[in-house]
Structure 1
């Protein structure tokens, strides 16, 4: 029974990590209609920025803020200098650019920060909590991860549903020509979308790195699992991203704990194939309007 509980709690924390990254993918999709495959190395770079601040003797929270700010700026710069020149063309061009950026950022990070493994601090304990004299597989940092992802989801929902800025971002993504005719500054909205998505990605990188080892490739596997979580919940739904991350994290935790860790990647592929076959729009996809 304790093993079952610990496996489920481990999956909860892992799922929230996937959900954080899925939220970044959902945000960039809703605001620009592009899947950013460079999200992971962008988050990795900002995590190393935080590590530089920590190594300089400053507090974790100052490093946390520095990573988020650098993520915001990096997203805006990438949109302006890399993505903006191909806007208006086939969407596949931007996707290919993000794949190229994935490679470039990896190489630059290896040159600037090195390839060795480095320890990243955590603001809260990374030992299991004591409940009734029993240690469970939920740490203080795990609780912080859950709360951070839920707060981020709530803020994104409020942004897209209740603010004019969110409406302008969605209009710029779905139909930029009409949005321009209505007075929306599409370029600024796309830059803002990339910047906010990069900020959320930086948060995901910090949550993944907390209390563990980091190196330039430490987030590569998260690209796959975060993408599966986003597709599972629906690329248009922040709630779907969180639910998809939770379902995926718990499922993969049980596969690892009861079947074998070597089958985790295969299980994620099977889940992705099932979702694309049975419900391509994701679990939280809205029904398409019928045309008469």
Structure 2
């Protein structure tokens, strides 16, 4: 029974991390209609910025805030300098550029920060909580991760459902020509979308690094699992991203705990194939996919 509880709690924490990354993918897709494969190295860069500040003697929270601010700036700059020139071209052009960014940012991080493994501090304790004299697999840092992702989810749902800016961002992504005719500053909305997505991505990078080792490739595997989580819930739905992340995290945790860790990647692939076969738009899709 204890193993079951610990496996579920470990999956919950892991799923929350996947959900944070999936939220960044969903945010940028909803606001720009682009899948950003460079989200992971962008988050990695900002995590190293936080680590550099912390190593310089400043508090964890100053580094945390600096990473989020760096993500905001980095996302805006990338949209303006790299993505903007292909804004009116086919969407595949921007996707290919994000793949190029993936490689470029990896190389830059290796040059600037080095390839060695470095320890990243945790905001709170890493010891499992005591419940009834038994240590369970849920730490204070894990609780912080869960709360942080829940807050981000609520903010994103509020942004897209109840604010004028959220409506303008979605209009700019779906039909920029009509949005311009209605007075929407489409360029600014796309920049804002990239900037906010980079902030959420930076948060996911910090949560993943918490209490572990970081290096330029430490988030590479998260690209795969975060993308599966986003597709599982639906690239249009922030709620779906969280549900997809939690579902994936719990599923992979049970596979690892009871069948073997070597089957985790295969299980993720099977889950992705099953969802794309039965419901291509994701579990929270609200409209049927259009065929051209």
TM-score interval (norm. to shorter): over 0.9
Q: CA–CA distance in 1 between the matches of 2:83 and 2:161?
A: 26
Name the residue aligned to 1:86: 86
Gaps of 5+ in 1: none
Q: CA–CA distance in 2 between the matches of 1:275 and 1:289?
A: 14
Return the offset for 1:289: 10
Q: CA–CA distance in 1 between the matches of 2:116 and 2:248?
A: 30
Name the residue aligned to 2:200: 200
Give the total of aligned pairs: 290
Q: CA–CA distance in 1 between the matches of 2:132 and 2:143?
A: 18
Name the residue aligned to 1:224: 224
Return the offset for 1:287: 3.2
**Deviation digits for residues 221-272 of structure 1 (CA, Å, limit 9, x no counterpart):** 0000000000000100000000000000000000001101011011000000
Q: CA–CA distance in 1 between the matches of 2:178 and 2:135?
A: 57
What does residue range 118-137 of structure 1 map to in structure 2 within 5 Å?
118-137=118-137
Name the residue aligned to 2:31: 31
Is 2:183 the partner of 1:183?
Answer: yes
Is 2:251 the partner of 1:268?
Answer: no
Return the offset for 1:121: 0.3
Q: CA–CA distance in 2 between the matches of 1:98 and 1:289?
A: 24
Return the offset for 1:127: 1.1
Gaps of 5+ in 2: none
Q: CA–CA distance in 1 between the matches of 2:48 and 2:288?
A: 43
Q: CA–CA distance in 2 between the matches of 1:273 and 1:160?
A: 29
| TM-score, scaled to structure 1 | 0.98
Structure 1 vs Structure 2 CA RMSD: 1.0
Name the residue aligned to 2:106: 106
Name the residue aligned to 2:238: 238
Name the residue aligned to 1:53: 53
SS at match of 2:129: strand
SS at match of 2:35: coil
Q: CA–CA distance in 2 between the matches of 1:258 and 1:67?
A: 37
Q: CA–CA distance in 2 between the matches of 1:129 and 1:288?
A: 45
In the TM superposition, structure 1's runs of 4+ consecutive aligned residues that sit over 6 Å from their partners are none
SS at match of 1:137: coil
| TM-score, scaled to structure 2 | 0.98
**Deviation digits for residues 51-71 of structure 1 (CA, Å, limit 9, x no counterpart):** 000011000000000000000
**Deviation digits for residues 34-59 of structure 1 (CA, Å, limit 9, x no counterpart):** 00000000000000000000011000
What does residue range 52-71 of structure 1 map to in structure 2 within 5 Å?
52-71=52-71
Name the residue aligned to 2:115: 115
Name the residue aligned to 1:16: 16
